[in-house]
């Protein structure tokens, strides 16, 4: 009987350390992932990964990738551009969106 209690005790101890190590490994993975993202993804083109450069178009700040030519806008930048030029497809697109949403 004593052997079965000792085996159970060791099994519980092993399970405890297993869970502890598992948590530590997950934390290390998350920390490493955050470091990689902040080091390699910030100010990088989502399409090709090259460094993006800030630019201004009609007084709206944008980001442009010199490698692939991609232009990245902020959350309200497209709306601001649409309001600045009423003769383009921007205005038609936003007007259709508001008419359909009413």
Of 13 and 50, the one with more pLDDT: 13
24 falls within a domain: yes
Q: Are residues 7 and 31 in the same domain?
A: yes
Give pLDDT tens digits for 45-89.
Answer: 878 878 889 888 878 888 888 888 888 888 888 778 777 766 666
Q: Are residues 38 and 60 in the same domain?
A: no
Say yes or no to pLDDT of 34 above 90: no
Q: Can you give the pLDDT at residue 18? A: 96
48 falls within a domain: no
- Residues 22/24/28/30 CA torsion (nearest 10 deg): 70
Rounded to the nearest 5°, which phi and psi values hold at 61? -75, 130
33 falls within a domain: yes
- Name the token pair of 35: 């470091």
pTM greater than 0.75 (yes/no) = no
Looking at the structure of the chain, the number of domains it has is 2
Domain hosting residue 11, numbered range: 1-42
| Angle between helix 77-84 and 89-101 (nearest 10) | 110
Give pLDDT tens digits for 14-28.
Answer: 999 999 999 999 999
Q: Are residues 35 and 59 in the same domain?
A: no
38 falls within a domain: yes
């Amino acid at each position: 009987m004593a052997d079965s209690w000792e085996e159970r005790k060791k099994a519980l101890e092993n399970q405890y350390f297993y869970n502890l190590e598992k948590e530590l490994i997950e934390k290390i993975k998350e920390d490493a992932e955050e470091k990689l993202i902040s080091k390699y993804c910030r100010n990088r083109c989502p399409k090709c990964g090259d460094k993006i450069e800030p630019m201004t178009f009609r007084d709206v700040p944008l980001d442009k990738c010199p490698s692939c030519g991609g232009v990245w806008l902020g959350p309200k930048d497209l709306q601001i551009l649409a309001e600045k030029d009423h003769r383009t497809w921007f205005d038609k697109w936003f007007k259709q969106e508001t008419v359909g949403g009413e």
